[in-house]
Structure 1
Amino acid sequence: MSLFIFLCSLYIAPWMLGFAGWYDNQPYRDILFYLPLQHLLFIGPIIFFYTQSLLNPSFKFTKKEALHLIPGLLYLLYITTMGVYDKLILHDYYFYTNGMDKDFDNWYQKTGLVSMIIYFILSIKYYNSYKKLMYQVVSYADSILFKWIKTYLFAFLIMLSLPILFDSISYFFPELNSYKGSWWFFLFFSGVMYYIAIVGYSNPANASIPFKMEFNKNPILLLNDVENNNTEEAVIDIDHEIFEENISPEIQKLKIKIETLIQSEELYKNPELNIAEVAKKLDTNVALISKTINRGFQINFNDCINNYRIEAVKTMFANNEHEKSTLLGIAFDCGFNSKATFNRAFKKNTGKTPKEFIDTL
Structure 2
Amino acid sequence: MIYNFNFYSSLLLITFSQGLIYSILILKKAIQTNRKANYWLSLFVLICSLYVAPWMLGFAGWYDNQPYRDFMFYMPFQHLFFVGPLMFFYIQSLLNPSFKINRKQLLHLVLGVVYLLYNFWIFIYDKIILKEYYYYADGIDKDFDEWYQILGQISMAVYFILSLIYYNRYQKLIVQISSNADAVLFKWIKTYLIAFLCMILLPLFFDFIKVLLPSKNEYESSWWFYLVYSIILYYIAITGYTNAIETKIGFEMSLFDRKPIILLTDNISNESFENDIIDTHFQDIEIDISPEIIVWKIKIESLIQSQKLYQNPELSLTEIAKKLESNSSIISRAINQGFGMNFNDFINNYRIEAVKEMFRNGEHKKSTLIGIAYDCGFNSKATFNRAFKKNTNFSPKEYLNTI
Is the Cα–Cα contact under 8 Å of residues 293 and 301 in structure 1 kept in the other structure? yes
- 1:26 equivalent to 2:26? Answer no
- 1:102 equivalent to 2:127? Answer no
Separation (CA, whole Å) in 2 of partners of 1:284 and 1:340: 33
Separation (CA, whole Å) in 2 of partners of 1:8 and 1:79: 18
Is the Cα–Cα contact under 8 Å of residues 136 and 290 in structure 1 kept in the other structure? yes
Separation (CA, whole Å) in 2 of partners of 1:106 and 1:290: 51
Is the Cα–Cα contact under 8 Å of residues 296 and 334 in structure 2 kept in the other structure? yes
Return the match for 1:58 from 72, 83, 98: 98
Kindly state the Cα deviation for residue 345 of structure 1 after the two structures are TM-superposed.
0.3
Aligned to 1:210: 250
Question: How far does the alpha carbon of each residue in 1:187-231 deviate from its partner, in whole angstroms, 9 at most, with x for none?
Answer: 101111111111111113311111122212322111112xx9989
Aligned to 2:266: 224
Kindly state the Cα deviation for residue 297 of structure 1 after the two structures are TM-superposed.
0.9
Aligned to 1:134: 174
Separation (CA, whole Å) in 2 of partners of 1:51 and 1:6: 17
What SS class does the counterpart of residue 301 from structure 2 fall into?
A: helix
Question: How far does the alpha carbon of each residue in 1:319-345 deviate from its partner, in whole angstroms, 9 at most, with x for none?
Answer: 111111111111111111111100000
Letter of the aligned partner of 2:389 in structure 1? K
Aligned to 1:120: 160
Kindly state the Cα deviation for residue 83 of structure 1 after the two structures are TM-superposed.
1.7
Separation (CA, whole Å) in 2 of partners of 1:95 and 1:229: 55
Q: Alpha carbons of 1:232 and 1:146: their partners in 2 closer, same or farther (altered >3 Å)?
A: farther
Kindly state the Cα deviation for residue 26 of structure 1 after the two structures are TM-superposed.
1.6
- 1:75 equivalent to 2:137? Answer no
Q: Which moved more, 1:94-103 or 1:172-181?
A: 172-181
Q: How many residues align?
A: 359
The TM-score with structure 2 as length reference comes to 0.86
Separation (CA, whole Å) in 1 of partners of 2:69 and 2:213: 29
Is the Cα–Cα contact under 8 Å of residues 284 and 341 in structure 2 kept in the other structure? no
Q: Which moved more, 1:110-119 or 1:235-244?
A: 235-244
Letter of the aligned partner of 1:360 in structure 2? T
Aligned to 2:236: 196
Is the Cα–Cα contact under 8 Å of residues 222 and 231 in structure 1 kept in the other structure? no
Q: Alpha carbons of 1:350 and 1:244: their partners in 2 closer, same or farther (altered >3 Å)?
A: closer
What SS class does the counterpart of residue 264 from structure 2 fall into?
A: strand
Return the match for 1:35 from 53, 65, 75: 75
Letter of the aligned partner of 2:202 in structure 1? L
Letter of the aligned partner of 2:153 in structure 1? L
Aligned to 1:17: 57
What SS class does the counterpart of residue 263 from structure 2 fall into?
A: strand
Letter of the aligned partner of 2:322 in structure 1? K
Aligned to 1:341: 383
Q: Alpha carbons of 1:314 and 1:244: their partners in 2 closer, same or farther (altered >3 Å)?
A: closer
Question: How far does the alpha carbon of each residue in 1:84-104 deviate from its partner, in whole angstroms, 9 at most, with x for none?
Answer: 111111112111111111100
Return the match for 2:219 from 179, 189, 197: 179
Kindly state the Cα deviation for residue 301 of structure 1 after the two structures are TM-superposed.
0.2
The TM-score with structure 1 as length reference comes to 0.96
Instruction: Give the 5 Å matches for 1:189-338.
Output: 189-215=229-255, 216=257, 217-225=259-267, 233=273, 234-241=276-283, 245-338=287-380
Q: Which moved more, 1:107-116 or 1:26-35?
A: 26-35
Separation (CA, whole Å) in 2 of partners of 1:325 and 1:13: 58
Q: Which runs of 5+ in 2 are unaligned?
A: 1-40
Separation (CA, whole Å) in 2 of partners of 1:285 and 1:211: 15
Is the Cα–Cα contact under 8 Å of residues 44 and 117 in structure 1 kept in the other structure? yes
Letter of the aligned partner of 2:99 in structure 1? F
Q: Alpha carbons of 1:176 and 1:40: their partners in 2 closer, same or farther (altered >3 Å)?
A: farther
Letter of the aligned partner of 2:93 in structure 1? S
Is the Cα–Cα contact under 8 Å of residues 13 and 37 in structure 1 kept in the other structure? yes
Kindly state the Cα deviation for residue 183 of structure 1 after the two structures are TM-superposed.
1.1
Aligned to 2:15: none
How high is the sequence identity, in percent, across the aligned residues? 60
Is the Cα–Cα contact under 8 Å of residues 313 and 331 in structure 1 kept in the other structure? yes
Question: How far does the alpha carbon of each residue in 1:64-118 deviate from its partner, in whole angstroms, 9 at most, with x for none?
Answer: 2111000111111111112211111111211111111110001100111111111
Question: How far does the alpha carbon of each residue in 1:135-188 deviate from its partner, in whole angstroms, 9 at most, with x for none?
Answer: 000100001112122222111111111111101111011228711111111110
Runs of 4+ with deviation above 4 angstroms: 228-232
Separation (CA, whole Å) in 2 of partners of 1:350 and 1:123: 35
Q: Alpha carbons of 1:177 and 1:119: their partners in 2 closer, same or farther (altered >3 Å)?
A: farther
Is the Cα–Cα contact under 8 Å of residues 285 and 340 in structure 2 kept in the other structure? no
What SS class does the counterpart of residue 289 from structure 2 fall into?
A: coil
Kindly state the Cα deviation for residue 17 of structure 1 after the two structures are TM-superposed.
1.1
Q: Alpha carbons of 1:130 and 1:288: their partners in 2 closer, same or farther (altered >3 Å)?
A: same
Letter of the aligned partner of 1:124 in structure 2? L
Q: Alpha carbons of 1:12 and 1:99: their partners in 2 closer, same or farther (altered >3 Å)?
A: same
Separation (CA, whole Å) in 2 of partners of 1:93 and 1:52: 43
